[in-house]
Structure 1
Amino acid sequence: MGIFSEFREFIARGNVIDLAVGVIVGAAFNNITKSLVDQVIMPPIGMLTGGVDFSDLQVVLRPDDAATKVDELVSIQYGAFLNTVIQFMIVAWVVFLLVKAVNSLRRTEAEKPAEAAPAAPTPQEVLLTEIRDLLKAK
């Protein structure tokens, strides 16, 4: 078997395609979540904390100073980290809710009674069937 046919067989497997779809949808969901956090959730939180924009919060370790000819600002941007943590919590919550909904659907599907199998023939029906078969044989 050639390498290209093996590769084609590998790609054609359902797991690889499912994984690719999951990664693509996950990347798109990341953009939605980032927009939700940055543009919808964080502004009211910033307003409640006195108009603070979390993404601008930082601890300056070395300011850019014209007197010392240091052109580079060195800072720890903990506000961006807080935004990322909040974004993660939102994604985790949404995934939890989705998994919970899917599990609930599966449970209700499992609880549905299966179609009843046809009832076994009664002894009288069995006897009548045997008589019919004997009459046909004659």
Structure 2
Amino acid sequence: MNTAIRKSVLVGLAGLSVAGTAAGCAPAVQPPAAEAAPPASGSAGTGSYKDGTYSADGNYKSPNGIETVGVELTLAGGTVSDVKITTHPSNPNTRKFQGEFAGGIQAQVVGKKLDELQVSKVAGSSLTSGGFNQAVAKIKSQAQ
């Protein structure tokens, strides 16, 4: 009987603790809410890119080591009007994936605003997109 009473008291206290928290019995001092960071330069909605053709290389890590892909974007009114990829494969496997990426990237980026570009997987190639996105960041800086 003594054990049953202890369990009952402990369960009751635990229930009060949970009920008190749910009822808003929180500490008197609340941490301040995080403020939204101001948009970074060149972030969505800026539209402040100069028309022209820009190029940059981007690097990414593959199972074969660090790889590089060249990106050339032509901009008109902040929108991509053309894209060219220069492959820099270090081995046959990289050549295959960079080639597939180069063959499929145009459909994903031409006609989009520069600020909207963020690719993840193109034509079966997911690692090359990391180098592409890095090059796009460099191009954004060049075009401002």
- State if a TM-score over 0.5 links the two structures: no
Structure index of larger Rg: 1
Name the TM-score class by shorter chain: under 0.3
Larger proportion of helix: 1
Task: State TM-score, norm by structure 1.
Answer: 0.26
